[in-house]
Amino acid sequence: MHEMALTESIVDILQEEARRRAFSRVTLVRLEIGALGHVDPRALAFCFDAVSRGTIADGAALDIVSVPGQGWCFDCEKATPLEERFGACAHCGGRRVQMTSGDEMRVKEMEVE
């Protein structure tokens, strides 16, 4: 389950920000996770509860925002929604599509005390 390793990295980011910005507790973490990133939001939430225990994020709410897949078609030169990696362009059916969003994972914002 790679969600455990991802969650450990998230908590590390929160703790590093706490050191840099001098806050003592995180009450909310808002994550953006790409729909094509192969991350299970339920598994990530489960892992977050376990990994954050005893840290500055203990008891923090986790809000996960899904970012849809998006790409750029080199054939018709249009942005196109993507339902899968390496999917075809929804406009022209072309296969020369570069993913521009949908595989990211970032801490978008957090509420702290």
Span 31-72, pLDDT tens digits? 999 999 999 999 999 999 999 999 999 999 999 999 999 999
Q: Confidence band (pLDDT; 50, 70, 90) for 1?
A: low
**What domains are defined for the chain?**
2-71+103-112 (3.30.2320.50)
First-residue to last-residue Cα distance in the chain: 31
Confidence check: pLDDT of 30 > 80: yes
- Residue 92: predicted pLDDT: 98
Mean pLDDT of the chain: 96
DSSP assignment string, 40-82: -HHHHHHHHHHHHTTSTTTT-EEEEEEEPEEEEETTT--EEEE
Span 67-98, pLDDT tens digits? 999 999 999 999 999 999 999 999 999 999 99
Average pLDDT, stretch 15-26? 97
Residues 45, 102: Cα–Cα separation, whole Å: 19
